[in-house]
Amino acid sequence: MKPQPAPKWLDEEPLLQKLLHSFVDKLERGVKPVIKVGPKTAPGLYDFQDDVDYLWALVESLDKDYQIITVKMARVKPHQNLYEGAQLVFIPEREELVRQWLNRPALDPYALVWHHELEKLAEAGVNTDALAANMIRLPEMGAEATLRGLVQIGEVLQRPMTLRALSARCFRGDSKVLDRQEALVAELYPELAQNLLPRPLLLAVYLPERVKQIIMVENQDTFVSLSQQPPDQTAIVYSAGFRGSSTRMRDPGNVVFSYLNQSASSRETFERYWFGGEQTLATYFWGDLDYAAMAILKAIRQSFTDARAWQPGYQPMLEQLLSGEGHTTHKGVQPDPTSTGCDFADYSLLPALRRASAYVDQEVVDIERVVAD
């Protein structure tokens, strides 16, 4: 729908322009957008060389014809003008339209404070180029405090720590502010960036006495159930969704394993395969039957090139999906990964997902029956 065009008389009447600008000024200052008619607020209505009746009719037109304001008349004495003391109440929902009429784009208060503070930092000798191009919005903290935290990084990052620890110490205990901002920290403090420690992946593992294959499991309940009655000579890894799909997952020092059950020999075999890159153990992934899990499998295959979807777990889920017993709740928007590189996933699971437009969660599977088969 096209916006309502400005009245032709607006460009010709300074009083009406002044009133509308005053309303927008109040909105930007966070002040209630109300104007009480008087000689200071509406001087044109008190300049009797003008046609004041015509001007007041235009003000009323903003109410009756354009629904920009609401006019609330005051009681007047016989010798007073009809509009004396009237309240003009702006309708906030019409702000965008009035800005278009006045050719006055909306201001961004956060951005204004951000750039104002940047100017002060630049005057103090701080290189602000990266900050000017990368504004971090923390409305609950405010632009000034956010910039203060970014500057504080230079003091705090004098010794090794993780990005989460750095964030918590510079941003009022909030450890997640700097998530996805590691490149910015490195650009701001190139000499200190070497003190950023990688955040290790924490993976829970069940290990049998002998290991011939590995199954990475997406969901916690299924990991626990499968660990209690695992397939023969199978290590079970709780990959915790996307956390297990990191490209760092096979780098020594970037993974911490928490073992539920182990022997010295099986642990040595497992870790030698995991960190050494030897393709001696068959590796599988089992998660929900949805696009997100297929994306996890695709990512895992970047580190474990022979990883495949675990067919014993996925087959009963596939049969349920094909029978029309899938669901669409609590999944949000999941992009189709197109392909994973695993034949079973690419030629059976993904086509079924596309046809059904529904999903099946892995908790539906009877672990005892799957392992027995």
Q: What is the DSSP string of 200-258?
A: -EEEEEE--SS-SEEEEESSHHHHHHHHHSPPTTEEEEE-TGGGGG-TTTTSTTSEEEE
Q: Which residue has the tokens 């970047």?
A: 302
Whole-model pTM: value is 0.62
Rounded to 5°, angle at Cα 117 from 116 and 123: 95
Please check the confidence at residue 345 and state whether its pLDDT lies above 90. yes
| Percentage of the chain lying above the pLDDT 70 cut | 95
Angle between helices 52-64 and 14-29 (to 10 degrees): 50
DSSP annotation of 87: E
pLDDT at 51 (0 to 100): 76
pLDDT at 106 (0 to 100): 83
DSSP annotation of 193: G
Note whether 68 and 62 are within 8 A (CB).
yes
Q: What is the DSSP string of 91-107?
A: -GGGHHHHHHHHT-PPP
Q: What is the DSSP string of 291-338?
A: HHHHHHHHHHHHHSTT-EE-HHHHHHHHHHHHTT--B-TT-------S
Note whether 235 and 199 are within 8 A (CB).
no
pLDDT at 254 (0 to 100): 82
CA atoms of 270 and 341, how far apart (whole Å): 24
Please check the confidence at residue 172 and state whether its pLDDT lies above 80. yes
Residues 120-137: pLDDT tens digits? 888 888 778 878 777 888
Instruction: Specify which residues 230 forms β-bridges with.
Output: none
Rounded to 5°, angle at Cα 304 from 312 and 179: 110
CA atoms of 49 and 154, how far apart (whole Å): 65
Residues 63-79: pLDDT tens digits? 999 999 999 999 988 87
CATH architecture assigned to 8-102? Orthogonal Bundle (1.10)
109 band by pLDDT with thresholds 50, 70 and 90: confident
- Taking alpha carbons only, the member of 196, 195, 147, 197 closest to residue 171 is 147
In b/e form, how buried is each residue of 250-281, taking b as 16+ CB within 10 angstroms? beeeebebeeeebeeebbebbeebbeeeeeeb
Q: What is the topology classification, in CATH, of domain 201-372?
A: Dna Topoisomerase Vi A Subunit; Chain: A, domain 2 (3.40.1360)
Note whether 69 and 90 are within 8 A (CB).
yes
Domain layout of the chain by residue ranges: 8-102, 109-197, 201-372
CA atoms of 196 and 164, how far apart (whole Å): 10
Instruction: Specify which residues 360 forms β-bridges with.
Output: 289
